[in-house]
Structure 1
Amino acid sequence: MDSGWEWDETLYAGSAEHYAVGRMPYPAVVATVLAEELGLDGQGRLLDVGCGPGSLTGVLAPLFASAVGVDADRDMLAEASRRCGELGVSNVEWRHLRAEELPSDLGPFRVVVFAQSFHWMDRAVVAGRVRGLLAPDGVWVHVSASTHQGVDGEDGLTHPRPPWDRIQELVARHLGPVRRAGRGFLPSGTPSGEQEIMIEAGYRGPVRVRCGGGVVVARSVEEIVAAVFSLSGSTPHLFGSGRPVFEAELRGLLMGASDGGLFAERTREIELVIWRP
Protein backbone atom coordinates (compact mmCIF):
# COMPACT_ATOMS: atom_id res chain seq x y z
CA MET A 1 0.00 0.00 0.00
CA ASP A 2 0.99 3.64 -0.23
CA SER A 3 3.32 4.69 2.55
CA GLY A 4 1.32 5.76 5.58
CA TRP A 5 -1.99 4.13 4.57
CA GLU A 6 -3.45 1.75 7.11
CA TRP A 7 -6.62 -0.29 6.94
CA ASP A 8 -9.44 0.88 9.18
CA GLU A 9 -12.99 -0.30 9.79
CA THR A 10 -14.55 2.58 7.84
CA LEU A 11 -13.14 1.37 4.51
CA TYR A 12 -16.57 0.27 3.24
CA ALA A 13 -18.75 1.81 5.95
CA GLY A 14 -22.28 2.35 4.67
CA SER A 15 -21.68 0.59 1.35
CA ALA A 16 -23.18 -2.84 2.03
CA GLU A 17 -26.76 -1.89 1.17
CA HIS A 18 -25.62 -0.43 -2.16
CA TYR A 19 -23.85 -3.56 -3.43
CA ALA A 20 -26.95 -5.58 -4.29
CA VAL A 21 -28.25 -2.68 -6.38
CA GLY A 22 -25.07 -1.18 -7.79
CA ARG A 23 -22.80 -4.13 -8.55
CA MET A 24 -23.52 -6.36 -11.52
CA PRO A 25 -23.87 -9.98 -10.31
CA TYR A 26 -21.25 -12.63 -10.93
CA PRO A 27 -22.55 -14.78 -13.80
CA ALA A 28 -23.39 -18.44 -13.22
CA VAL A 29 -20.67 -19.39 -15.72
CA VAL A 30 -18.08 -18.62 -13.01
CA ALA A 31 -19.38 -21.55 -10.96
CA THR A 32 -19.63 -23.78 -14.04
CA VAL A 33 -16.08 -23.08 -15.18
CA LEU A 34 -14.62 -23.44 -11.68
CA ALA A 35 -16.42 -26.74 -11.13
CA GLU A 36 -15.10 -28.10 -14.41
CA GLU A 37 -11.55 -26.84 -13.86
CA LEU A 38 -11.28 -28.23 -10.31
CA GLY A 39 -13.53 -31.29 -10.60
CA LEU A 40 -15.85 -30.05 -7.86
CA ASP A 41 -18.48 -32.62 -6.88
CA GLY A 42 -20.47 -31.07 -4.03
CA GLN A 43 -17.96 -32.21 -1.40
CA GLY A 44 -15.44 -30.29 0.67
CA ARG A 45 -15.57 -26.77 2.08
CA LEU A 46 -15.28 -23.29 0.57
CA LEU A 47 -13.76 -20.23 2.26
CA ASP A 48 -14.59 -16.81 0.78
CA VAL A 49 -12.18 -14.25 2.27
CA GLY A 50 -13.34 -10.65 2.13
CA CYS A 51 -16.73 -11.95 1.03
CA GLY A 52 -18.45 -8.57 1.28
CA PRO A 53 -22.20 -8.91 0.80
CA GLY A 54 -21.89 -12.51 -0.41
CA SER A 55 -21.99 -11.65 -4.11
CA LEU A 56 -19.75 -14.58 -5.03
CA THR A 57 -20.38 -16.75 -1.96
CA GLY A 58 -23.97 -17.33 -3.00
CA VAL A 59 -22.88 -18.40 -6.50
CA LEU A 60 -20.16 -20.81 -5.38
CA ALA A 61 -21.45 -22.26 -2.09
CA PRO A 62 -23.83 -24.75 -3.80
CA LEU A 63 -20.75 -26.44 -5.29
CA PHE A 64 -19.61 -27.52 -1.79
CA ALA A 65 -20.88 -29.36 1.25
CA SER A 66 -20.43 -26.19 3.30
CA ALA A 67 -18.90 -22.73 3.08
CA VAL A 68 -17.54 -19.98 5.32
CA GLY A 69 -17.73 -16.30 4.42
CA VAL A 70 -15.31 -13.97 6.22
CA ASP A 71 -15.39 -10.18 6.22
CA ALA A 72 -14.20 -7.34 8.45
CA ASP A 73 -17.44 -5.34 8.01
CA ARG A 74 -20.46 -6.48 10.04
CA ASP A 75 -22.93 -4.76 7.71
CA MET A 76 -21.48 -6.65 4.76
CA LEU A 77 -22.02 -9.95 6.57
CA ALA A 78 -25.60 -9.04 7.46
CA GLU A 79 -26.26 -8.24 3.81
CA ALA A 80 -24.54 -11.47 2.75
CA SER A 81 -26.75 -13.53 5.07
CA ARG A 82 -29.86 -11.78 3.77
CA ARG A 83 -28.95 -12.22 0.11
CA CYS A 84 -27.98 -15.88 0.43
CA GLY A 85 -31.23 -16.49 2.31
CA GLU A 86 -33.16 -15.03 -0.61
CA LEU A 87 -31.26 -17.36 -2.96
CA GLY A 88 -32.01 -20.38 -0.77
CA VAL A 89 -28.32 -20.92 -0.06
CA SER A 90 -28.25 -22.27 3.49
CA ASN A 91 -24.85 -23.98 3.84
CA VAL A 92 -22.81 -20.85 4.67
CA GLU A 93 -21.42 -19.81 8.05
CA TRP A 94 -20.53 -16.11 8.40
CA ARG A 95 -17.50 -14.96 10.44
CA HIS A 96 -16.65 -11.37 11.38
CA LEU A 97 -12.86 -11.40 10.98
CA ARG A 98 -10.03 -9.66 9.22
CA ALA A 99 -8.16 -11.99 6.88
CA GLU A 100 -4.99 -11.39 8.90
CA GLU A 101 -6.79 -12.96 11.90
CA LEU A 102 -7.91 -16.20 10.25
CA PRO A 103 -7.62 -18.86 12.98
CA SER A 104 -5.45 -21.88 12.25
CA ASP A 105 -8.26 -24.29 13.15
CA LEU A 106 -10.78 -22.83 10.70
CA GLY A 107 -9.82 -25.25 7.91
CA PRO A 108 -9.37 -27.44 6.06
CA PHE A 109 -10.82 -26.03 2.82
CA ARG A 110 -10.94 -27.46 -0.65
CA VAL A 111 -11.10 -23.97 -2.20
CA VAL A 112 -10.23 -20.57 -0.73
CA VAL A 113 -11.42 -17.69 -2.89
CA PHE A 114 -10.58 -13.99 -2.92
CA ALA A 115 -12.76 -11.75 -5.10
CA GLN A 116 -11.85 -8.06 -5.37
CA SER A 117 -10.45 -8.21 -1.83
CA PHE A 118 -6.82 -9.41 -1.56
CA HIS A 119 -5.33 -6.00 -2.43
CA TRP A 120 -6.73 -4.52 0.83
CA MET A 121 -4.85 -6.98 3.03
CA ASP A 122 -1.38 -7.58 4.39
CA ARG A 123 -0.91 -9.99 1.53
CA ALA A 124 2.21 -11.82 2.73
CA VAL A 125 0.60 -12.53 6.10
CA VAL A 126 -2.69 -13.65 4.57
CA ALA A 127 -0.99 -15.85 1.96
CA GLY A 128 0.83 -17.68 4.74
CA ARG A 129 -2.25 -18.13 6.91
CA VAL A 130 -4.37 -19.44 4.04
CA ARG A 131 -1.72 -21.96 3.02
CA GLY A 132 -2.14 -23.56 6.42
CA LEU A 133 -5.93 -23.78 5.95
CA LEU A 134 -5.93 -25.62 2.62
CA ALA A 135 -6.71 -29.32 2.40
CA PRO A 136 -3.98 -31.48 0.80
CA ASP A 137 -5.69 -31.11 -2.58
CA GLY A 138 -6.89 -27.56 -1.87
CA VAL A 139 -6.46 -24.51 -4.08
CA TRP A 140 -6.45 -20.74 -3.78
CA VAL A 141 -8.57 -18.93 -6.40
CA HIS A 142 -8.20 -15.22 -7.02
CA VAL A 143 -11.23 -13.85 -8.89
CA SER A 144 -10.15 -10.82 -10.86
CA ALA A 145 -13.24 -8.84 -11.77
CA SER A 146 -14.77 -5.38 -11.90
CA THR A 147 -18.51 -5.55 -11.33
CA HIS A 148 -19.40 -1.91 -10.70
CA GLN A 149 -18.55 -0.76 -14.23
CA GLY A 150 -18.65 -2.28 -17.69
CA VAL A 151 -16.25 -2.16 -20.62
CA ASP A 152 -15.38 1.18 -22.19
CA GLY A 153 -16.05 1.46 -25.90
CA GLU A 154 -17.61 3.33 -28.77
CA ASP A 155 -19.77 0.49 -30.08
CA GLY A 156 -23.46 1.22 -30.09
CA LEU A 157 -25.50 -0.26 -27.25
CA THR A 158 -29.22 -0.23 -26.47
CA HIS A 159 -28.77 2.89 -24.30
CA PRO A 160 -25.91 5.33 -23.61
CA ARG A 161 -23.03 4.19 -21.44
CA PRO A 162 -22.84 5.78 -17.98
CA PRO A 163 -20.58 8.87 -18.00
CA TRP A 164 -17.96 7.37 -15.67
CA ASP A 165 -15.32 10.03 -16.41
CA ARG A 166 -17.72 12.80 -15.41
CA ILE A 167 -18.82 10.83 -12.35
CA GLN A 168 -15.20 10.57 -11.22
CA GLU A 169 -14.75 14.30 -11.76
CA LEU A 170 -17.81 14.99 -9.61
CA VAL A 171 -16.49 12.76 -6.82
CA ALA A 172 -13.15 14.57 -6.97
CA ARG A 173 -14.85 17.97 -6.71
CA HIS A 174 -16.52 16.86 -3.47
CA LEU A 175 -13.77 14.72 -1.92
CA GLY A 176 -10.62 16.15 -3.44
CA PRO A 177 -8.33 14.94 -6.23
CA VAL A 178 -6.57 12.23 -4.18
CA ARG A 179 -8.38 8.92 -3.86
CA ARG A 180 -9.89 8.33 -0.44
CA ALA A 181 -9.87 4.98 1.36
CA GLY A 182 -11.33 4.74 4.85
CA ARG A 183 -9.76 7.50 6.96
CA GLY A 184 -6.71 7.68 4.69
CA PHE A 185 -5.69 8.36 1.10
CA LEU A 186 -4.37 6.22 -1.75
CA PRO A 187 -2.68 8.54 -4.26
CA SER A 188 -1.17 5.58 -6.15
CA GLY A 189 -4.06 3.15 -5.70
CA THR A 190 -3.89 -0.37 -4.35
CA PRO A 191 -0.74 -2.49 -4.91
CA SER A 192 0.07 -4.96 -7.66
CA GLY A 193 2.67 -7.74 -7.57
CA GLU A 194 0.33 -10.52 -6.44
CA GLN A 195 2.32 -13.18 -8.31
CA GLU A 196 5.53 -12.36 -6.45
CA ILE A 197 3.69 -12.51 -3.11
CA MET A 198 2.21 -15.92 -3.89
CA ILE A 199 5.46 -17.47 -5.12
CA GLU A 200 7.33 -16.14 -2.09
CA ALA A 201 4.68 -17.77 0.14
CA GLY A 202 5.30 -21.15 -1.51
CA TYR A 203 2.38 -21.44 -3.94
CA ARG A 204 2.69 -23.08 -7.37
CA GLY A 205 1.13 -21.77 -10.57
CA PRO A 206 -0.84 -19.99 -11.53
CA VAL A 207 -3.36 -21.44 -13.95
CA ARG A 208 -5.46 -18.67 -15.48
CA VAL A 209 -8.97 -19.26 -16.78
CA ARG A 210 -11.13 -16.56 -18.35
CA CYS A 211 -14.90 -16.60 -18.53
CA GLY A 212 -17.99 -14.43 -18.83
CA GLY A 213 -17.98 -10.92 -20.19
CA GLY A 214 -19.48 -9.34 -23.27
CA VAL A 215 -23.10 -9.35 -22.13
CA VAL A 216 -25.00 -6.11 -22.65
CA VAL A 217 -27.05 -5.17 -19.60
CA ALA A 218 -29.41 -2.27 -18.98
CA ARG A 219 -28.69 -0.20 -15.87
CA SER A 220 -30.84 2.45 -14.24
CA VAL A 221 -29.88 5.75 -12.66
CA GLU A 222 -30.54 4.14 -9.26
CA GLU A 223 -28.12 1.34 -10.06
CA ILE A 224 -25.34 3.72 -11.07
CA VAL A 225 -25.85 5.86 -7.95
CA ALA A 226 -25.60 2.68 -5.86
CA ALA A 227 -22.48 1.60 -7.78
CA VAL A 228 -20.78 4.88 -6.88
CA PHE A 229 -21.63 4.48 -3.19
CA SER A 230 -20.40 0.87 -3.26
CA LEU A 231 -16.84 1.97 -4.02
CA SER A 232 -14.18 2.42 -1.33
CA GLY A 233 -13.26 5.83 -2.72
CA SER A 234 -16.82 7.18 -2.58
CA THR A 235 -18.48 5.38 0.33
CA PRO A 236 -21.43 7.34 1.77
CA HIS A 237 -19.70 8.36 5.01
CA LEU A 238 -16.88 10.14 3.15
CA PHE A 239 -19.26 12.89 2.04
CA GLY A 240 -20.42 13.69 5.57
CA SER A 241 -23.03 16.43 5.68
CA GLY A 242 -22.39 17.13 2.01
CA ARG A 243 -23.84 13.82 0.85
CA PRO A 244 -27.31 15.22 -0.09
CA VAL A 245 -25.71 17.86 -2.31
CA PHE A 246 -23.39 15.33 -3.95
CA GLU A 247 -26.20 12.85 -4.53
CA ALA A 248 -28.46 15.52 -6.03
CA GLU A 249 -25.68 16.58 -8.41
CA LEU A 250 -24.92 12.95 -9.29
CA ARG A 251 -28.55 12.22 -10.09
CA GLY A 252 -28.80 15.37 -12.18
CA LEU A 253 -25.70 14.37 -14.14
CA LEU A 254 -27.03 10.86 -14.71
CA MET A 255 -30.52 11.90 -15.74
CA GLY A 256 -29.06 14.34 -18.27
CA ALA A 257 -26.81 11.66 -19.78
CA SER A 258 -29.30 8.78 -19.76
CA ASP A 259 -31.98 7.58 -22.14
CA GLY A 260 -35.06 8.21 -20.02
CA GLY A 261 -33.20 7.10 -16.90
CA LEU A 262 -31.52 4.09 -18.52
CA PHE A 263 -27.96 3.23 -19.47
CA ALA A 264 -26.36 0.14 -20.98
CA GLU A 265 -22.99 -1.50 -20.36
CA ARG A 266 -21.13 -4.52 -21.65
CA THR A 267 -19.93 -6.72 -18.78
CA ARG A 268 -16.22 -7.28 -18.24
CA GLU A 269 -14.47 -10.62 -18.58
CA ILE A 270 -13.63 -12.41 -15.32
CA GLU A 271 -10.29 -14.12 -14.74
CA LEU A 272 -9.89 -17.02 -12.31
CA VAL A 273 -6.27 -17.27 -11.14
CA ILE A 274 -5.66 -20.67 -9.52
CA TRP A 275 -2.75 -21.36 -7.16
CA ARG A 276 -1.76 -24.60 -5.42
CA PRO A 277 0.32 -24.91 -2.24
Structure 2
Amino acid sequence: MTGDGWEWDETLYAGSAPHYVVGRMPYPPGLAEVIGEALGLDGTGRLLDVGCGPGSLTLLLAPLFEAAVGVDADPGMLLEASRRARDLGITTVEWVRARAEDLSDDLGSFRVATFAQSFHWMDRSVVARRVRGLLTPDGTWIHVGATTHRGAEGADPLPHPRPPWDRIDALVARYLGPVRRAGRSTLPGGTRGSEEEILRQAGFTGPTRIEVGTAPVVDRSVDEIMAAVFSLSGSTPHLFAAELPAFEADLRRLLIRTSDDGWFSETPHGISVLLWRP
Protein backbone atom coordinates (compact mmCIF):
# COMPACT_ATOMS: atom_id res chain seq x y z
CA MET A 1 0.00 0.00 0.00
CA THR A 2 1.41 3.42 -0.92
CA GLY A 3 1.28 6.46 1.31
CA ASP A 4 -1.83 7.81 -0.43
CA GLY A 5 -3.88 4.63 -0.48
CA TRP A 6 -3.18 3.23 -3.93
CA GLU A 7 -1.90 -0.34 -3.93
CA TRP A 8 0.45 -1.56 -6.64
CA ASP A 9 0.03 -5.11 -7.95
CA GLU A 10 1.87 -7.29 -10.40
CA THR A 11 -0.97 -7.35 -12.94
CA LEU A 12 -0.68 -3.61 -13.67
CA TYR A 13 1.02 -4.10 -17.03
CA ALA A 14 0.75 -7.88 -17.31
CA GLY A 15 0.81 -8.93 -20.97
CA SER A 16 1.25 -5.39 -22.29
CA ALA A 17 5.00 -5.41 -23.00
CA PRO A 18 4.88 -6.59 -26.66
CA HIS A 19 2.10 -4.06 -27.33
CA TYR A 20 4.10 -1.32 -25.58
CA VAL A 21 7.02 -1.76 -27.97
CA VAL A 22 4.78 -1.55 -31.05
CA GLY A 23 2.19 0.96 -29.88
CA ARG A 24 4.22 3.63 -28.10
CA MET A 25 5.85 6.37 -30.14
CA PRO A 26 9.60 6.45 -29.47
CA TYR A 27 11.28 9.25 -27.60
CA PRO A 28 12.92 11.65 -30.07
CA PRO A 29 16.69 11.16 -30.43
CA GLY A 30 17.07 14.83 -29.49
CA LEU A 31 16.01 13.97 -25.93
CA ALA A 32 19.34 12.23 -25.31
CA GLU A 33 21.23 15.19 -26.77
CA VAL A 34 19.37 17.67 -24.55
CA ILE A 35 20.01 15.62 -21.40
CA GLY A 36 23.63 14.99 -22.31
CA GLU A 37 24.33 18.68 -22.85
CA ALA A 38 22.48 19.78 -19.73
CA LEU A 39 24.47 17.43 -17.49
CA GLY A 40 27.77 17.40 -19.36
CA LEU A 41 27.60 13.64 -19.82
CA ASP A 42 30.79 12.23 -21.31
CA GLY A 43 30.44 8.46 -21.33
CA THR A 44 31.43 8.01 -17.71
CA GLY A 45 29.33 7.20 -14.66
CA ARG A 46 26.31 4.94 -14.37
CA LEU A 47 22.63 5.36 -15.20
CA LEU A 48 19.73 3.94 -13.16
CA ASP A 49 16.41 3.84 -15.04
CA VAL A 50 13.63 3.06 -12.56
CA GLY A 51 10.43 1.56 -13.95
CA CYS A 52 12.27 1.11 -17.24
CA GLY A 53 9.54 -0.87 -19.01
CA PRO A 54 10.88 -2.26 -22.30
CA GLY A 55 13.93 0.00 -22.11
CA SER A 56 12.67 2.84 -24.29
CA LEU A 57 14.56 5.52 -22.35
CA THR A 58 17.30 3.26 -20.97
CA LEU A 59 18.56 2.29 -24.40
CA LEU A 60 18.33 5.85 -25.71
CA LEU A 61 20.51 7.20 -22.88
CA ALA A 62 22.84 4.21 -22.32
CA PRO A 63 25.48 5.40 -24.83
CA LEU A 64 26.00 8.51 -22.67
CA PHE A 65 27.24 6.39 -19.74
CA GLU A 66 29.84 3.79 -18.91
CA ALA A 67 27.08 1.40 -17.76
CA ALA A 68 23.35 1.40 -17.06
CA VAL A 69 20.86 -0.54 -14.94
CA GLY A 70 17.21 -0.84 -15.94
CA VAL A 71 14.84 -1.82 -13.13
CA ASP A 72 11.26 -2.99 -13.54
CA ALA A 73 8.88 -5.27 -11.65
CA ASP A 74 7.26 -6.74 -14.76
CA PRO A 75 9.15 -9.72 -16.25
CA GLY A 76 7.57 -9.24 -19.67
CA MET A 77 8.90 -5.69 -19.86
CA LEU A 78 12.42 -6.82 -19.01
CA LEU A 79 12.24 -9.60 -21.61
CA GLU A 80 11.39 -7.03 -24.29
CA ALA A 81 14.09 -4.67 -23.00
CA SER A 82 16.72 -7.40 -23.17
CA ARG A 83 15.65 -8.36 -26.70
CA ARG A 84 15.79 -4.77 -27.90
CA ALA A 85 19.24 -4.29 -26.36
CA ARG A 86 20.50 -7.34 -28.28
CA ASP A 87 18.96 -6.05 -31.51
CA LEU A 88 20.69 -2.69 -31.03
CA GLY A 89 24.00 -4.27 -30.02
CA ILE A 90 24.00 -2.49 -26.64
CA THR A 91 25.88 -4.58 -24.08
CA THR A 92 26.38 -2.08 -21.24
CA VAL A 93 22.92 -2.41 -19.66
CA GLU A 94 22.00 -4.77 -16.81
CA TRP A 95 18.29 -5.56 -16.40
CA VAL A 96 17.06 -6.11 -12.85
CA ARG A 97 13.62 -7.34 -11.86
CA ALA A 98 12.61 -5.51 -8.71
CA ARG A 99 10.10 -3.04 -7.36
CA ALA A 100 11.46 0.46 -6.99
CA GLU A 101 10.61 0.33 -3.29
CA ASP A 102 13.10 -2.54 -2.91
CA LEU A 103 16.11 -0.87 -4.53
CA SER A 104 19.21 -1.98 -2.69
CA ASP A 105 22.57 -0.39 -1.97
CA ASP A 106 24.03 -3.50 -3.64
CA LEU A 107 23.26 -1.84 -6.98
CA GLY A 108 26.05 0.65 -6.33
CA SER A 109 26.03 4.39 -6.96
CA PHE A 110 24.78 6.28 -9.99
CA ARG A 111 25.44 9.58 -11.69
CA VAL A 112 21.87 9.82 -12.98
CA ALA A 113 18.54 8.20 -12.04
CA THR A 114 15.68 8.51 -14.52
CA PHE A 115 11.94 8.09 -14.17
CA ALA A 116 9.78 8.20 -17.30
CA GLN A 117 6.02 7.64 -17.02
CA SER A 118 6.66 5.48 -13.94
CA PHE A 119 7.01 7.40 -10.66
CA HIS A 120 3.26 7.80 -10.14
CA TRP A 121 2.90 4.00 -9.78
CA MET A 122 5.26 3.82 -6.82
CA ASP A 123 5.32 4.53 -3.11
CA ARG A 124 6.93 7.79 -4.03
CA SER A 125 8.21 8.93 -0.65
CA VAL A 126 9.99 5.61 -0.09
CA VAL A 127 11.43 5.52 -3.60
CA ALA A 128 12.61 9.15 -3.48
CA ARG A 129 14.58 8.48 -0.30
CA ARG A 130 16.07 5.25 -1.61
CA VAL A 131 17.13 6.73 -4.92
CA ARG A 132 18.64 9.79 -3.26
CA GLY A 133 20.85 7.41 -1.30
CA LEU A 134 22.03 5.76 -4.53
CA LEU A 135 23.02 8.97 -6.30
CA THR A 136 26.56 10.33 -6.19
CA PRO A 137 26.92 13.72 -4.44
CA ASP A 138 26.92 15.45 -7.85
CA GLY A 139 24.19 13.19 -9.23
CA THR A 140 20.86 14.07 -10.80
CA TRP A 141 17.32 12.73 -10.63
CA ILE A 142 15.60 13.14 -14.01
CA HIS A 143 11.84 13.06 -14.35
CA VAL A 144 10.72 12.71 -17.98
CA GLY A 145 7.12 13.73 -18.53
CA ALA A 146 5.73 12.42 -21.80
CA THR A 147 2.63 10.99 -23.46
CA THR A 148 3.73 8.44 -26.04
CA HIS A 149 0.66 6.29 -26.72
CA ARG A 150 -1.23 9.10 -28.49
CA GLY A 151 -0.48 12.41 -30.14
CA ALA A 152 -1.52 15.94 -29.38
CA GLU A 153 -5.00 17.17 -30.21
CA GLY A 154 -5.42 19.67 -33.01
CA ALA A 155 -7.38 20.68 -36.08
CA ASP A 156 -4.52 21.35 -38.49
CA PRO A 157 -4.51 19.13 -41.59
CA LEU A 158 -2.40 15.96 -41.46
CA PRO A 159 -1.57 13.39 -44.16
CA HIS A 160 -4.04 10.88 -42.69
CA PRO A 161 -6.95 11.08 -40.22
CA ARG A 162 -6.18 11.41 -36.53
CA PRO A 163 -7.02 8.28 -34.51
CA PRO A 164 -10.54 8.55 -33.03
CA TRP A 165 -9.30 8.57 -29.44
CA ASP A 166 -12.60 9.79 -27.96
CA ARG A 167 -14.44 6.87 -29.54
CA ILE A 168 -11.65 4.47 -28.56
CA ASP A 169 -11.94 5.61 -24.93
CA ALA A 170 -15.71 5.19 -25.10
CA LEU A 171 -15.31 1.66 -26.47
CA VAL A 172 -12.92 0.73 -23.64
CA ALA A 173 -15.40 2.14 -21.11
CA ARG A 174 -18.22 0.12 -22.69
CA TYR A 175 -16.30 -3.08 -22.00
CA LEU A 176 -14.51 -2.21 -18.74
CA GLY A 177 -16.77 0.38 -17.15
CA PRO A 178 -16.55 4.16 -16.81
CA VAL A 179 -13.91 4.20 -14.05
CA ARG A 180 -10.36 3.76 -15.23
CA ARG A 181 -8.89 0.35 -14.40
CA ALA A 182 -5.33 -0.23 -13.14
CA GLY A 183 -4.49 -3.85 -12.46
CA ARG A 184 -6.83 -5.07 -9.72
CA SER A 185 -7.54 -1.48 -8.70
CA THR A 186 -9.30 1.52 -10.21
CA LEU A 187 -8.25 5.14 -10.57
CA PRO A 188 -11.39 7.26 -10.26
CA GLY A 189 -9.29 10.42 -10.01
CA GLY A 190 -6.59 9.47 -12.50
CA THR A 191 -2.91 9.00 -11.67
CA ARG A 192 -1.38 10.95 -8.82
CA GLY A 193 0.51 14.26 -8.89
CA SER A 194 2.49 16.28 -6.33
CA GLU A 195 5.86 14.79 -7.35
CA GLU A 196 7.64 18.07 -6.69
CA GLU A 197 6.51 18.27 -3.07
CA ILE A 198 7.54 14.65 -2.46
CA LEU A 199 11.01 15.16 -3.93
CA ARG A 200 11.62 18.26 -1.86
CA GLN A 201 10.57 16.41 1.28
CA ALA A 202 13.13 13.72 0.38
CA GLY A 203 15.89 16.35 0.25
CA PHE A 204 16.11 17.14 -3.47
CA THR A 205 16.50 20.69 -4.75
CA GLY A 206 15.19 22.13 -7.99
CA PRO A 207 13.87 21.51 -10.42
CA THR A 208 15.53 22.82 -13.54
CA ARG A 209 12.97 22.43 -16.33
CA ILE A 210 13.84 21.73 -19.96
CA GLU A 211 11.24 21.51 -22.71
CA VAL A 212 11.95 19.27 -25.68
CA GLY A 213 10.00 20.34 -28.75
CA THR A 214 7.53 18.18 -30.61
CA ALA A 215 8.79 15.66 -33.13
CA PRO A 216 7.61 15.60 -36.76
CA VAL A 217 4.23 14.14 -37.65
CA VAL A 218 4.12 10.35 -37.26
CA ASP A 219 2.10 8.00 -39.46
CA ARG A 220 0.66 5.02 -37.57
CA SER A 221 -1.09 1.88 -38.77
CA VAL A 222 -4.26 0.25 -37.44
CA ASP A 223 -2.12 -2.38 -35.71
CA GLU A 224 0.02 0.29 -34.05
CA ILE A 225 -3.01 2.13 -32.68
CA MET A 226 -4.45 -1.14 -31.38
CA ALA A 227 -1.13 -1.91 -29.72
CA ALA A 228 -1.15 1.55 -28.15
CA VAL A 229 -4.53 0.79 -26.55
CA PHE A 230 -3.30 -2.55 -25.18
CA SER A 231 -0.12 -0.91 -23.86
CA LEU A 232 -2.10 1.13 -21.33
CA SER A 233 -2.57 0.06 -17.72
CA GLY A 234 -6.28 0.81 -18.07
CA SER A 235 -6.76 -1.45 -21.09
CA THR A 236 -4.16 -4.20 -20.86
CA PRO A 237 -5.37 -7.36 -22.64
CA HIS A 238 -6.00 -9.39 -19.47
CA LEU A 239 -8.57 -6.88 -18.18
CA PHE A 240 -10.98 -7.91 -20.94
CA ALA A 241 -10.82 -11.61 -19.96
CA ALA A 242 -13.19 -13.67 -22.14
CA GLU A 243 -14.38 -10.54 -23.96
CA LEU A 244 -10.93 -9.78 -25.38
CA PRO A 245 -11.67 -11.19 -28.89
CA ALA A 246 -14.91 -9.20 -29.11
CA PHE A 247 -13.25 -5.97 -27.97
CA GLU A 248 -10.36 -6.46 -30.37
CA ALA A 249 -12.77 -7.01 -33.27
CA ASP A 250 -14.82 -3.94 -32.33
CA LEU A 251 -11.69 -1.81 -32.03
CA ARG A 252 -10.37 -2.92 -35.40
CA ARG A 253 -13.73 -2.19 -37.06
CA LEU A 254 -13.80 1.28 -35.51
CA LEU A 255 -10.33 2.07 -36.81
CA ILE A 256 -10.95 0.72 -40.30
CA ARG A 257 -14.14 2.76 -40.56
CA THR A 258 -12.19 5.88 -39.63
CA SER A 259 -9.37 5.50 -42.17
CA ASP A 260 -9.99 4.13 -45.65
CA ASP A 261 -6.36 3.15 -46.19
CA GLY A 262 -5.70 1.94 -42.63
CA TRP A 263 -3.29 4.74 -41.72
CA PHE A 264 -3.46 7.57 -39.19
CA SER A 265 -1.30 10.61 -38.50
CA GLU A 266 -0.46 12.27 -35.19
CA THR A 267 1.78 15.03 -33.91
CA PRO A 268 3.72 13.71 -30.90
CA HIS A 269 3.48 15.61 -27.62
CA GLY A 270 6.38 17.69 -26.41
CA ILE A 271 8.46 16.31 -23.55
CA SER A 272 9.22 17.96 -20.21
CA VAL A 273 12.49 17.11 -18.46
CA LEU A 274 12.87 18.01 -14.77
CA LEU A 275 16.34 17.90 -13.23
CA TRP A 276 16.59 17.47 -9.45
CA ARG A 277 19.76 17.53 -7.34
CA PRO A 278 20.24 15.50 -4.14
1:58 has 2:59 as partner: yes
Task: Check conservation: 2:28, 2:215, Cα contact below 8 A.
Answer: no
Q: Which residue of the partner structure matches residue 126 of structure 1?
A: 127
1:92 has 2:93 as partner: yes
Residue type of the partner of 1:85? R
Q: Which residue of the partner structure matches residue 143 of structure 2?
A: 142
Q: Which residue of the partner structure matches residue 256 of structure 2?
A: 255
Equivalent pairs counted in the alignment come to 277
Q: Whole-Å Cα distance in 1 between the matches of residues 216 and 134 of structure 2?
A: 36
Residue type of the partner of 2:208? V
Task: Check conservation: 1:160, 1:259, Cα contact below 8 A.
Answer: no
For structure 2, the residue ranges without an aligned partner over 5 or more in a row are none
Q: How does 1:32-181 map to 2 (within 5 A)?
A: 32-181=33-182
For structure 1, the residue ranges without an aligned partner over 5 or more in a row are none
Q: CA deviation at 1:215?
A: 1.4
Q: How does 1:224-239 map to 2 (within 5 A)?
A: 224-239=225-240
Q: Whole-Å Cα distance in 2 between the matches of residues 5 and 113 of structure 1?
A: 22
Q: Which residue of the partner structure matches residue 14 of structure 1?
A: 15
Residue type of the partner of 1:30? L
Q: Whole-Å Cα distance in 2 between the matches of residues 143 and 49 of structure 1?
A: 11
1:243 has 2:244 as partner: yes
Residue type of the partner of 1:173? R
Residue type of the partner of 1:122? D
Q: Whole-Å Cα distance in 1 between the matches of residues 219 and 73 of structure 2?
A: 32
Q: CA deviation at 1:222?
A: 0.3
Task: Check conservation: 1:30, 1:212, Cα contact below 8 A.
Answer: no
Q: CA deviation at 1:3?
A: 6.5
Task: Check conservation: 1:2, 1:188, Cα contact below 8 A.
Answer: no
CA RMSD of aligned residues (A): 1.1
Task: Check conservation: 2:101, 2:123, Cα contact below 8 A.
Answer: yes
CA deviation map 1:188-245 (0-9, x unaligned): 0111111100111110100000113141010000000000000000000000010000
SS in 2 for 1:56: helix
Structure 1 runs of 4+ with >4 Å offset: 1-4
Q: CA deviation at 1:136?
A: 1.4
Q: How does 1:162-201 map to 2 (within 5 A)?
A: 162-201=163-202
Q: Whole-Å Cα distance in 1 between the matches of residues 91 and 228 of structure 2?
A: 27
Q: CA deviation at 1:105?
A: 2.7
Task: Check conservation: 1:46, 1:66, Cα contact below 8 A.
Answer: yes
SS in 2 for 1:105: helix
Task: Check conservation: 2:218, 2:267, Cα contact below 8 A.
Answer: yes
**Identity, % of aligned positions:** 66
TM-score for the superposition, normalised by structure 1: 0.98
1:209 has 2:202 as partner: no
